[in-house]
């Protein structure tokens, strides 16, 4: 059985960039995380180190209190999934945060997809489906539901590698589908049997 990371290694993991998973630490600490399969060294200069999916799982298990559905860690940027009880204030600062997070995700795609593709979701997105889809929508300017405004809502589903996206009208649903497809997701439109509500089922594209 793999030994848990030391306190010093856990601090390095906790301090990783929340979007890209980029690590900062001593060469010895980073090498040990690589050896344990919790990090990898990027082959291209400047050869930074990044968390693997296993490293991300340890990082997200750090908070003692259970997190609400699909947020980032407390105090860290979280994309709007729609319907939050206390949504962040909108405005230029929020738009800058979203833009920065989206650019960070594109960089993560470039560095972690085997072919360096930015137009296709990466491993981090496949393990954070709701957050990844929500970031793509918010970064494209789609309006999330919240307060008195109606808009998209991204929710987890029982299906592997798929999220459900709801919208208040067919036009908004179509716009969300176009946004996600442009961000490297594949979508299909379905109807809930009981409510008859239309929704998108979206999955990260593999090729």
Tens digits of residue pLDDT in 93-131: 888 889 989 998 999 998 889 888 899 999 999 999 999
The structure tokens 């979203």 sit at: 98
Q: Whole-prediction pTM value? A: 0.64
Rounded to whole angstroms, the Cα distance separating 4 from 96 reads 37
Confidence of residue 143 (pLDDT cuts 50, 70, 90): very high
Mean pLDDT value across residues 147-173: 91
**73 phi/psi in degrees, rounded to 5:** -60, 155
Confidence of residue 61 (pLDDT cuts 50, 70, 90): low
Contact between 181 and 189 (Cβ < 8 Å): no
Confidence of residue 37 (pLDDT cuts 50, 70, 90): confident
């Amino acid at each position: 059985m793999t030994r848990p990371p030391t306190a010093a290694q856990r601090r390095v993991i906790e301090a990783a960039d929340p979007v890209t998973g980029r690590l900062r630490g001593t060469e010895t600490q980073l090498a040990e995380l690589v050896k344990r399969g919790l990090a990898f060294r990027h082959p291209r200069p400047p050869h930074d180190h990044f968390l693997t999916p296993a490293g991300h799982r340890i990082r997200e298990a750090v908070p003692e209190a259970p997190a609400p559905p699909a947020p980032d860690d407390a105090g860290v940027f979280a994309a709007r999934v729609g319907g939050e009880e206390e949504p962040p204030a909108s405005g230029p600062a929020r738009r800058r945060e979203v833009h920065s997070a989206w650019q960070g995700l594109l960089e993560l795609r470039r560095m972690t997809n085997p072919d360096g593709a930015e137009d296709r979701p990466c491993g981090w997105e496949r393990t954070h489906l709701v957050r990844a889809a929500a970031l793509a929508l918010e970064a494209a300017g789609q309006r999330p539901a919240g307060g008195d405004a109606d808009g998209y809502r991204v929710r987890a589903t029982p299906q592997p590698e798929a999220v459900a996206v709801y919208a208040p009208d067919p036009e908004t649903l179509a716009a969300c589908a176009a946004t996600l497809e442009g961000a490297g997701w594949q979508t299909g439109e379905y109807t809930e049997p009981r409510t008859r509500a239309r929704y998108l089922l979206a999955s990260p594209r593999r090729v």
